[in-house]
Amino acid sequence: MENERINVTKTFLPEQSEYQKILSRSWDKSWITNRGELVLELENKIKSQYNITNILATTNGTLPLQIAIKCLGLKGDIITTPFSYVATTSSIIWEGCNPVFVDINVDTFNIDPLKIESAITPNTSAILATHVFGNPCDIEAIEKIAEKHNLKVIYDAAHCFGVSYKGQSIFEYGDVSTCSFHATKIFHTGEGGALFAKDKALFDKLYYHHNFGHKGATDFHGLGVNAKISELQAAMGLAVFPYIDSIFERREALYKLYKKELKGKVKFQKIESNCDYNYSYIPVVLKSEEQLLKVIKELNNNNIFPRRYFNPSLNTIDYVNGDVMPISEDISNRIMCLPLYYDLKESQVKSIVLKMLNVL
């Protein structure tokens, strides 16, 4: 334990031979990209496993946000959360829109729907909400507000692979949902992501946007970019996919062990009761930033590296003009995610906790 570096996460990797066996199907055909059989098989497996209406795998998890904004024709202001990864905000700005931040719920860390309506103006075109750490937003409240004000809804579900809400995949909600298949995520393709939309016409438009706008070999549906996932990435996803239930089970066990060992010492995220959670992260909130920094120093000195995630609050970054968001800024200064991954041992979790308690 003392000599082994423990990072906040560790990519789950199957045996190389398993990956190479799958990849050889593409290799033998010299078909490495442009939606070959491995990409189609991966999409179909995910679609079938989680009863999803439509899925489009992409080369990363950020382009789906940008494509969704472009595809929905959004202009002006987009209401969003300050407590998320920077891609949530940067995608809005990249597409020429203006992020309008709404503060978060102190317990769930998700955007607070009670504060959304006061931020809506005639210039508002959409709500882009993050299911923070895979914890579902207050979907009913958000979509009721959106319907009332004729707004589009995009869910940044980067952390949500395998999560269901009220009996159906979290990806089935909103006009568009997005996910990340980055190497740090529970399910991954090395680098990758996906787009989801229940409406067939909208989904077809998303498809055109992700493939240069192509409609056949020579015709074009409209403006597009290249967000296609490769066969090399899809092969990794297909190699990881058979292990996904075991990964969920392992992470749940470690997550619950952390909660047991740290009960009463730190604050945990309140998880939505109507969901099947995926235990994507184990975030903890400490009493102060000073205490947080002391704990991090103690862990780092023992070769343990949690992550201050999410920090900073996005309303404070230098290329936005965000209003003060007291709750997000406060949580952001006091939160960190502890190591959580498939190979982590119970003894290591207990050792991490013990070192934390030495400071706490």
Q: What is the pLDDT of residues 150-192, one digit of tens each?
A: 999 999 999 999 999 999 999 999 999 999 999 999 999 999 9
Contact 195, 208 (CB under 8 A): no
Residue 13's pLDDT is: 98
- The C-alpha atoms of residue 83 and residue 129 are separated, in whole angstroms, by 10
For the whole model, what pTM was predicted? 0.97
Alpha-carbon Rg for the chain, nearest whole angstrom, is 21
- CATH class, 244-359 region: alpha beta
Q: Which of 275, 304, 291 is nearest to 333 (CA)?
A: 291
User: Which segments of the chain belong to CATH 3.40.640.10?
Assistant: 16-102+110-241
How far is residue 339 from each of residues 109, 115, 133, 214, 287, measured CA to CA in Å? 19, 33, 14, 43, 20
Residue 218's pLDDT is: 78
How far is residue 158 from each of residues 48, 56, 62, 65, 275, measured CA to CA in Å? 20, 14, 9, 10, 16
Tokens of 184: 């740090």
Q: Which of 78, 77, 47 is nearest to 172 (CA)?
A: 47
Q: Which residues of the chain have pLDDT under 50?
A: 1
Contact 170, 177 (CB under 8 A): yes
Tokens of 316: 């404070």
Residue 2's pLDDT is: 54
- The C-alpha atoms of residue 289 and residue 310 are separated, in whole angstroms, by 13
CATH-assigned architecture of domain 16-102+110-241:
3-Layer(aba) Sandwich (3.40)
User: Which segments of the chain belong to CATH 3.90.1150.10?
Assistant: 244-359
What is the tally of helices (H) and strands (E) in the chain?
Answer: 11, 17
- Residue 158 contacts by C-beta under 8 Å, 6 or more apart in sequence? 61, 85, 87, 130, 178, 179, 180, 185, 193
